Structure formats: C-alpha cells, structure tokens
Chain A
Amino acid sequence: MSVPRFWRRLKNLYNLIGTRCEKCNEYYYPPRNMCPKCRRSGLMVPFKFKGFGEVLTYTVMHSSTKDYAKQTPYILAIIKLDEGPNLTSQVICSHKDIHIGMRVKSTFRRLGEESERGMIYYGTKFVPLINPSKEF
C-alpha cells in the first residue's frame, strides 16, 4: 500500500479512532464520513474507542499476501468492540487459547512491512484481556 494512503489513516489505525453519529448515536469503526443509518454526513464526529471487545470469529492464517507471508502463522479475527462496531484485526496469543467469545483489548503493534521499500507499518492488534477488573 502506498505511503500517502497509509499515512491518511494513521490516527485511526494507531489510536482506534472511528466516528460517531450525533443524530443516531451509532458508532463506526473503521470511520465513515456518512452515517449508513440516517445517511447524513454533517453530524459525524471523531470517536476514540476504548479498545475492549470480544472475538466474534477467527482463523489461524497459514499462508498470506506478500506483506504478511513472513508472519504466518498468525491469528486473524473479527472483533466486536464494546461500543458496537466490528473490525478485522489480529490477536496475539497462543493458537491453543484463541476462542470465540474471548475478551480482548487493543495494543499498538507492528502490522507488517512493504517488502520492496522496507517501510514498516504500525497499527492496532489485540491481546487477551486476562484480568478485566484491573484493565478498566
């Protein structure tokens, strides 16, 4: 992926910033500039997600695209954030422990690298939430 294309989304990727519709009170991550519920754009405001959620489904990737081929095997998952929206990310944990319904929290990690230019991407991955009472 090109540098400007990645750079544009840095704040969203690094800090889990999505959007919230002030009219519908719906939360969106990835961010949207138009609310699919009321189909208005004026009332969307940035929203920083807390980063807690649960694993809705997952897979262990044994082969992947060029950028990720060297990182296999890794866990790819769809995570339901506590505020509502779902996102696709990776979970860093033992392949034996990963399960549907697992509580997770976000963490800042290296995503991958552009093999030709050697550019390293960082972004949000998830780790198991061992002791929820302490984390909040």
Chain B
Amino acid sequence: MRDVAIVGVGCTEFGELWDRSFRELFVEAGISAIEDANIQGGEIDALYVGNMSGGRFIEQEHLGALIADYAGLASLNIPSTRVEAACASGGLALRQGIVAVASGYHDIVIAGGAEKMTDVDVQITTDALAAAADREWEGVMGATFPGLYAMIARLHMHKYATTQEQLACVAVKNHHNGTMNPKAQFQNEISIETVLNSIMVADPLHIYDCSPITDGASAVVIAPAEIARKYTDTPIYVKASAQASGTLALHDRLDITTLDATVAAASRAYRMAKVTPGDIDFAEVHDCFTIAEICAIEDLGFVRKGEGGPASLSGMTAIGGKIPINPSGGLKACGHPVGATGVKQAVEVALQLRGEAGRRQIDGAEIGLTHNVGGSGGTAVVHIFSREK
C-alpha cells in the first residue's frame, strides 16, 4: 500500500436547486475539483460516484456511465463505478477511490458524490430514504428515519438525562457555522426556542432537529502522495480510511444508543493513523439528526458515552471550542444531499487544513476527521486527514 493525498476539491452550492439536473451538479463539482488540482482530463484513471437512490429520486440508474459521459470522459473509456451505502454512499465512494490509488491499481482518481432529491414529491423522498432501514421489519411497521433516530434520542434521554435543549443546541451551533459557509443550504442563525417551538416530526425530534432535503454534489481528486506536490502546494494526506458495518435494523443493536459501526470504524482509523481521539483538531460528523451528532462525538471517543449532551451545551464543539464539530454547518445547516455528504465532509476538512475556510476557519488545524453513516448505523466510514505527510 502506498500513501495517498487529496490534491483537488470541488463542491456545488447545496440547496433546492430546481434549475440544475443531477448530471449538471456532478459535472460542476467534478470540474471545480479538476481545476483545483490543475490536472488534465486525460490523466484521470478512474471515477467513483457516490449515490444513494438515483432510481427513486430521478428514475435513473447506471450513474457511473452517465457521469463519465457527461464529464466528457466517454472517449477515454475509463472505468466509472457507482457506489451505494445509503447516506454513507459518498464516504464509501471516497474510500473506494483511496483504496484504488493506495493499492497502485490507479494513479489519479476522481471520487465524488451527488444526490438530486427535490425533483420528486417530499413523500416520495421520505419513502426512498426509509429504504435505507430494514424495509421488511422496520419500514413495514411504520418506521422512518426520524422515527428511528427519535427512538435513539428517547433512550439517550432516559439513560443519560440528555435534554431537548442539549439536542437543540447542536442545531443552533450548526446553523451558526452555516452562516459562515457560502455554499450552505441554511445560512441563518436560529435559537434553542426556534428548535423547540418547531413542529414535532417524531417525538422528541422537531423539524429543526432534522437535516433537510437537499440537492448537491462534491468531488475530490486523489493522487499518490509521492507525486501530490506536482499538482498542488497544499496536498492533504489521507492518514486513515476505515469502514465498518453493523446491524441493518436498529432493534438488533446491542445498545440502541451506540452505533457499533462508528465505534469499529473509528478504532480502526485511529490505529491506522497512529493517533488518539485527543489528537484530532476538528471533525465533520454525520449529524442527520441532532441526536446523531451527540452519539457521534461519543462513539468517536471525543467524550465519554452519555456526555455528548452536556458537551454540546458547553460550547466544546463550537468553532473555538476544544473539538470543533461540523464547521461546514454539518448535514443540518450545510444540507444533506445523501450521496454527496461523505465527500463534502472531506472537501471541508481539506479546506480547513489548507487554511482556506474563510470566516469559519479553525486556527491551527492540523488533523481532521470525517464520519459518514449509512441508515441508522448499518454502515460507518471514518477518514483521518493531515496537513503533514
């Protein structure tokens, strides 16, 4: 295995982008990553496309070929592969790209993700997302993703005295970070009252505890570390790429409030990167719901189990705090085009480590972590990136 670096990043704005199609979004993100890395189309060896549900959202499958074609690469006949793991599709596409370069199979790889979620009715979107749970034993009983995470939240509150205010302050913090991200879907401040007074989706989760429905795409260019400086003065080195699976259904977890896949992926990543949670300067985590960020900072080892609520309330996870979480605004405020999210997290970490994150820049950021989850924890992907080789 050889060391790998990210040499270019690109991201569309996130939001309800009615005037742009799936293929246009992906190509826009891909082109900006290619221009950022200053590579030529002919140098690209392979393409990985993260996407959860093109079939349901845009009635289009075979997205690998579609993207290669519209990226103008059809004449080169490069391999192009669509990767799916529900909301972790992007993180997994990134990992496939990294593995392909690390193994020596390919040199220059584009890993991207995209989702076009607003072409269909909200009800269809909800149903499509519910397919990431166990259709036969959760979905058919009336479970949805807000419902499953609400049951995690309910038990977390019961076991650890976590409060709705503590959940709400995750959304407040991520909206605040979103105000400093020009690509974020929501760039407005909210208060704890905004969250608590918003409509209830699945008790105790209000609509402001949930990430939105979003269109968007992100892409990165991956290269062998030894030639990374040929493309950029600020390569971002991949110190770990780890993936784990857990039970598909939430009810089969040993502990409903612990995502075993996150714990496993994180411990593999820390071992691979030879770091501890205390060495991580900041992280982009999978806050599909406010409770998910609280579980994530616990399962990633930043705080002990049960302390995620008080830690979030204390400001520890704000920019300027001990461990800033989701400087991009996270899934909550930046938006959650499911297939793009895992790649967008890496784009944010790269911008932060390059010192190019503008008003949301974390001072002295050296090591960043990304955490992308599929479903209620059936898949977790954790990456660790560093400025130093």
Contact = CB atoms under 8 A, between A and B. Distances in A.
Interface of A: 1, 5-6, 9, 30, 56-69, 71, 74, 76-78, 86-90, 100, 111-112, 121, 123
B158 A57 contact: yes
A93 B136 CA distance: 24
Interface residues of B, number: 37
Interface string B86-126: 00000000000000000000000000000000000001101
Interface centre among B141, B146, B249 (most CB of A within 10 A): B141
Interface string B133-153: 011111111111011001111
Contacts of A9: 136
A60 B256 contact: no
Contact of A76 (B123, B126, B127, B202): B202
A88 B203 contact: no
Nearest to A63: B201
B154 A100 contact: yes
Interface centre among B138, B153, B251, B256 (most CB of A within 10 A): B251
B316 interface: no
Contacts of A87: 137, 251
B155 interface: yes
15 contacts: A5-B136, A30-B137, A57-B154, A58-B151, A58-B154, A65-B139, A66-B126, A67-B142, A76-B141, A76-B147, A76-B151, A78-B251, A86-B251, A86-B252, A88-B143
Contacts of B144: 61, 63-65
B202 A62 contact: yes
B78 interface: no
A56 B130 CA distance: 21
Interface centre among A59, A61, A123 (most CB of B within 10 A): A59
Interface in B172-217: 199-205
B250 interface: yes
A63 B138 CA distance: 15
Query: Helix, strand, loop or mixed for chain A's interface?
Result: strand
A68 B249 CA distance: 19
Interface centre among B138, B153, B202 (most CB of A within 10 A): B202
A62 B199 contact: yes
Contact of B202 (A60, A67, A86, A111): A60
Contacts of B123: 65-66, 69
A106 B249 CA distance: 20
Contacts, number: 105
Query: Helix, strand, loop or mixed for chain B's interface?
Result: helix
A59 B140 contact: no
A53 B164 CA distance: 28
Contacts of A6: 140
Contacts of B155: 56-57, 100
Contacts of A67: 142
A116 to B, nearest CB: 12
Given A59-B202, A78-B250, A88 B158 contact: no
B249 A88 contact: yes
Contact of B141 (A58, A66, A123): A123
Nearest to B155: A57
Interface in B249-306: 249-252, 256
A67 B138 CA distance: 13
A97 B140 CA distance: 24
A61 B147 contact: yes
B147 A59 contact: yes
B372 to A, nearest CB: 24
B142 A59 contact: no
A88 B137 contact: yes
A74 B154 contact: no
Given A62-B200, A100-B154, A111 B139 contact: no
Nearest to B206: A62
Contact of B152 (A57, A60, A90, A100): A57
Given A56-B251, A63-B144, A100-B154, 10 more contacts: A1-B135, A1-B140, A6-B140, A56-B256, A61-B144, A62-B199, A66-B123, A76-B143, A87-B251, A88-B251
Nearest to A124: B141
Contacts of B153: 59
